[in-house]
């Protein structure tokens, strides 16, 4: 039985989630309690020891992050809920945590629940939350990558390049490690572009810090610090050269 707690300062948001949970009750889910403030939420979590918490980002004058900050080692999964807060969503995504946009779509909700149910054991999310809290304060240095072995945190500065592989993305790291991550390259492009990453080709996103040399050609190709060669699309050549000249 999956025990659920909802923390949200708006009753109608709680009501909607309650309704959606009610509809999904044959999936072995039970709503244990709801709270409308951070303090109440903390008590509620302590009391019910839930498996899953739906956590609003803005709660009264405080935030859901404040709530997480007060818990030393969380033993539950978190799904953030928010209507429009790009900044927070970016940070949440960066740590590979889950979120739902309000008003919550039933399909999105069911997908999120399936994801929670699919992972039987409660993974240790304290790392994710620690990184998230850091990411809220300043530009995060580490990114959470969902791999087959759970979420792995990697320093962005250790990523040499990312290569598309269908719905997966292969990460090539500075320590010669390779990670297969279950998200598309497009998503990482969004995350990593502010870190001086550049999509040189449909299939490759490159950390420009690791570029050793550029060889001319139609599009040409790059040689990276790990001696791998990466083809450059002719459409991306000009912009790439512009970027490289800035380094």
Partner 1 sequence: MRGLKFIAFFFLLNLYNANSEVLDSLLLKADGYRISDTIRAGVLNSLAVELSSSDYEKGLKYADSAIVLSTAIKADKKLATAYFAKARNLSSGGDDSLAIINYQKAYLLYLKTGNFTACATSLQNMGISYYNLSDYSLAAERHSAALDIFKKVRNDRGTAAALNSLGIIAMEVADYTKAMELYFESLKLAKKIEDSTLLANSYSNIGIVYKNLGDLNKALVYQNIALQLNIKRQMAYETAKCYNNIAIVYSVMEQSDKAIESYNKALAINEKLKYSFGIASNYLNLGIELLATNKILEAYGSMKKAESLFKKIGDRNSEAVAIKVQSSLLMNAPDSILRFLKIPVSQRNTQCLSMHQKALEVFRETEDISNVADVESEMSTLYERMGDLKNSLHYFKEYSLHKDSMAVEDKKSEIERSELKFQFEAKEQQLKLENAQRSTALKEAEMKRKYYMAGSVCLLLLSGGAFVAYKQRKDVLVKKKEVELNAAVKESEFKALRLQMNPHFMFNSLNSIADFIDKNKSQTASDFAVKFSKLMRMILEYSEQQEITLKEEIDLLELYLKLESIRLSPKLNYHIDIDKEADADNILILPMLIQPFVENSIIHGITPLNNSGNIKISFLIQQNELEIVIDDDGVGMHAAKTTNERKSMAMKITSERIALYNEKYHANASLQLIALNPGTRVQLRMPLKYRY
Q: What residues line the site for partner 1 (CB under 8 A)? A: 84, 87, 101-106, 186, 199-202, 233, 235-236
Question: In terms of Cα–Cα distance, which of 118, 142, 114, 112 is closest to 128?
Answer: 142
Cα(141)–Cα(67) distance, integer angstroms: 22
- Min CB(193)–partner 1 separation in Å: 13
Q: How far is CA 85 from the centre of its chain?
A: 15
Going by their DSSP bridges, the two strands 2-7 and 29-35 should be labelled as parallel
- Min CB(233)–partner 1 separation in Å: 4
Identify which of residues 29 and 200 has a Cβ nearer to partner 1 in the complex.
200
- Min CB(166)–partner 1 separation in Å: 12
Identify which of residues 69 and 141 has a Cβ nearer to partner 1 in the complex.
69
- Min CB(6)–partner 1 separation in Å: 18
Identify which of residues 26 and 87 has a Cβ nearer to partner 1 in the complex.
87
Name the β-bridge partners of 206. Answer: 161, 198
From residue 173, give the alpha-carbon distance in Å to each of 15, 22, 155, 160: 45, 44, 9, 5
Identify which of residues 35 and 136 has a Cβ nearer to partner 1 in the complex.
136
């Amino acid at each position: 039985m999956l025990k659920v707690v909802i923390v949200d300062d708006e009753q109608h948001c709680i009501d909607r989630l309650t309704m959606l949970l009610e509809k999904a009750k044959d999936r072995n889910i039970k709503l244990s309690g709801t709270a409308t403030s951070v303090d109440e939420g903390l008590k509620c979590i302590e009391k019910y020891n839930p498996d899953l918490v739906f956590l609003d980002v803005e709660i009264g004058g405080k935030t859901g992050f404040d709530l997480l900050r007060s818990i030393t080692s969380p033993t539950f999964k978190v799904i953030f809920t928010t209507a429009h807060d790009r900044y927070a969503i970016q940070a949440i995504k960066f740590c590979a945590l889950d979120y739902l946009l309000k008003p919550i779509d039933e399909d999105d909700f069911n997908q999120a629940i399936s994801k929670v149910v699919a992972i039987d054991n409660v993974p240790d999310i304290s790392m994710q939350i620690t990184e998230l809290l850091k990411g809220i304060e300043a530009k995060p240095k580490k990114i959470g990558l969902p791999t087959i072995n759970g979420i792995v945190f990697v320093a962005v500065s250790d990523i040499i390049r990312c290569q598309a592989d269908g719905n997966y993305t292969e990460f090539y790291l500075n320590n010669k490690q390779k990670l297969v991550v279950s998200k598309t390259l497009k998503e990482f492009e969004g995350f990593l572009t502010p870190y001086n990453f550049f999509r040189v080709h449909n299939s490759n996103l490159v950390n420009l810090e690791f570029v050793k040399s550029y060889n001319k050609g139609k599009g040409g190709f790059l040689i990276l610090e790990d001696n791998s060669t990466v083809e450059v699309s002719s459409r991306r050549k000009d912009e790439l050269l512009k970027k490289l000249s800035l380094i």
